[in-house]
Amino acid sequence: MRSSFSADHVLDILSLDVDPNSFYEVFFSEAGRKGIDLPALDESSDLGRDKDVVQAVSALALRAVKNGQYGGSRAEMCRDRGISSDKAYRLNKFLRGAEVFSKEADNVYTGCQRYVSYHREDGESRLRVVAQEKASDAYREQIGVDVSGNEATITASDTDIASVDDLIGYAGLDENKWRRVDSNVKCYEQGMKMREILKFKDNGEPIYVERKESQQLHSFHVKLERKQVKPVEFEPLRPVEISVTQQYEADPPQRRPDGLKTALFVPDPQIGFRRSQRTGRYSPIHDRRALDVMLQVAAHIDPDDIIVLGDWLDMTNWTKKYTQSQEFRETTNPALQEGKWWLQNLGEQHPGAEKHYLLGNHEDRVRNSLINHYGQAYNVRPGGRMEEPPLMSIRTMLELDDLGYEVSDPYPQGEVWLNDAVKGIHGESAAKRVCRNLMEKHNVTTIQGHNHRIEMKSSTMQFRDHQQPIHGVTAGCLCRTDPGVVPAVSNRMDWQQGLVAVQYEEGGTDHSVDLIRIHEGQCFFRGQVFEAQPQAGQIRSDTDFGEKMNSVFPVMEREPA
């Protein structure tokens, strides 16, 4: 007795242990042997040899629907392909008469094109294995995976992945090597329209009906850490040897009343680079024009004290605060080379000045990175010379002792006093009221860097027998301020470039403060105009690193020609 083609017969065909190239011959033979009625199914039909196996299977399934055979298709066909329950629901919609596969079903079937037959491997259907592999590939396109050292972050939005464990599996992270430390999962429903065949006309043309249904979707943000921590690889650091060949000459020292001195406060150049992944060229995130103006102003006032307020180096690739771009890899050495060049130039220009270097939060990134990721290297000193600074410290990397800079550390405790009423710090706060807060906290004139703004607030302290004016001052910065160049919490920051000059009474309390603003490589100060001169060529010729890598110090678009 012959029978109509049914969904069960689709399963029979798929279970045949046959090479896909022989699919049709075996199919027709098997259909005849089982007595399956296929009146219009021959090689000249729409299921001919020019169609691939997937299209053939889909047409066979649709023919089964036309014959009214619905039962068992969803559970059996989907289970044997390792399809999730949500995908199974959509695939069943196809088997009940949809014209085309849904995206999910198509992903699964495409992976099965060359594996129509079952091939047992370790007791598991090869068809199921391939379907799962294809589904994993489709899911990976929805998943973002960021692995940085011993930490990993997985994100996914608007996905029907049902659990964090499934997400980690699709992301390709081995659960034997990674442990979950935090996860944030949001679940919501999304409306969609489903189209299915209601019935067929006499001519075989289907009549469709649409229904509104909802789909459950998820968004994930999962953090993981390695179960076995790997040491973080550090870029090899080399000694910095520089000979400055050209300097601004300090103006002849003006005679000052006995006891009156001048100090120059230099804030936050955050010397560092971005490296092009395409060309390998380095672009500075510090502003060489502002630094050159700083040298000119210093030559003009010939300071008795030079106070570097910290964040001389950016050390971008030594922190986890911001997402680490590949642009910042291999940038520590050129930053050290150029950082020392500017310090040496400033110091040799004023050999008689007292030079101070305050450590900032960016220099502190080195210490924190060593403590968190490579504790064996923290506080290591030369053998037999425990009085010397640690090998992996800014003091050693920049050779600050050799340059004559006295280092005030650790951050944030470091401070430099000029007299009994004036001191400099790097600072911890970038709040809007920072100047008022400085006065209220310290009760003396306090000049800080850190927040990259030029501001000053004044107040008069009342004592029993005298009054004392004090100021809260933020000195600005010398890094670039154009949008998106320096890594920050926002693309456009309220930053200004500048310096601070202080005249003060040595051993007393009297003092005056000058804010020196720099904009686009130009500064107006004490009746003179200071305009930046190009320095990239000299930096390239003076530094050992520049000679070895000519592209490290190109003349940048941010410099005057």
Q: Which of 232-236, 271-275, 395-399, 433-437 has the lowest mean pLDDT?
A: 232-236
> Quick check: 118 pLDDT over 50?
no
Instruction: Answer whether 44's CB lies under 8 Å from 58's CB.
Output: no
Distances (CA, A) of 53 to 13, 58, 78: 11, 9, 17
Whether the model clears a pTM of 0.75, i.e. scores above it, the answer is no
How would residue 110 be classed by pLDDT, with cut points 50, 70 and 90? Answer: very low
Each residue of 459-481: b (16+ CB within 10 Å) or e?
beeeeeeeebebbbbbbbbbbbb
Provide the CA 407 distance to its chain's centre, in angstroms.
31
> What is the spatial distance between Cα 268 and Cα 476, in angstroms, rounded to a whole number?
8
User: Which of 127, 57, 63, 128 has its CA nearest to residue 96?
Assistant: 63
> Quick check: 226 pLDDT over 90?
no
The length of the chain, given as a count of residues:
561
Helix (H/G/I), strand (E/B), else coil: 132: helix
Percent of the chain with pLDDT over 90: 35
Q: Which domains does the chain have, with CATH numbers?
A: 1-137 (no CATH), 260-552 (3.60.21.10)
Q: What is residue 136's predicted lDDT score, i.e. its pLDDT?
A: 56
> Quick check: 214 pLDDT over 50?
yes
pLDDT digits (tens, 9 = 90+) for 469-490: 999 999 999 999 998 888 887 7
Residue 195 is encoded by which pair of tokens?
Answer: 């189209």
Distances (CA, A) of 93 to 81, 82, 194, 257, 335: 16, 17, 8, 94, 61
Task: Look up residue 109 and give its DSSP letter.
Answer: H
How would residue 458 be classed by pLDDT, with cut points 50, 70 and 90? Answer: very high
Q: What is residue 242's predicted lDDT score, i.e. its pLDDT?
A: 74
Is the CA virtual torsion 231, 232, 233, 234 positive or negative?
negative
> What is the spatial distance between Cα 192 and Cα 163, in angstroms, rounded to a whole number?
22
pLDDT digits (tens, 9 = 90+) for 421-439: 999 999 998 888 899 999 9
Q: What is residue 270's predicted lDDT score, i.e. its pLDDT?
A: 96
Instruction: Answer whether 295's CB lies under 8 Å from 348's CB.
Output: no
Amino acid at 366: V
Which residues are registered as beta bridge partners of 357?
A: 308, 407
> Quick check: 405 pLDDT over 70?
yes
Region 490-509 average pLDDT? 92
User: Which of 60, 63, 52, 64 has its CA nearest to residue 20?
Assistant: 52
Helix (H/G/I), strand (E/B), else coil: 535: coil
Q: What is residue 113's predicted lDDT score, i.e. its pLDDT?
A: 36
Q: What is the mean pLDDT of the chain?
A: 75
Dmax (CA) of the chain: 123
Distances (CA, A) of 29 to 13, 33, 260, 560: 11, 6, 109, 83
Region 391-401 average pLDDT? 92
pLDDT digits (tens, 9 = 90+) for 274-291: 887 777 788 899 999 999
pLDDT digits (tens, 9 = 90+) for 337-371: 999 999 999 999 999 999 999 999 999 999 988 88
Q: What is residue 388's predicted lDDT score, i.e. its pLDDT?
A: 85
Q: Are strands 260-266 and 445-448 parallel, antiparallel or unpaired?
A: unpaired
Q: What does the H/E/C string look like for 429-470?
A: CCCCCHHHHHHHHHCCEEEECCCCCEEEEEEEEECCCCEEEE
pLDDT digits (tens, 9 = 90+) for 124-179: 444 444 444 545 555 666 788 888 778 889 988 877 777 888 888 878 888 888 99
Region 402-419 average pLDDT? 94
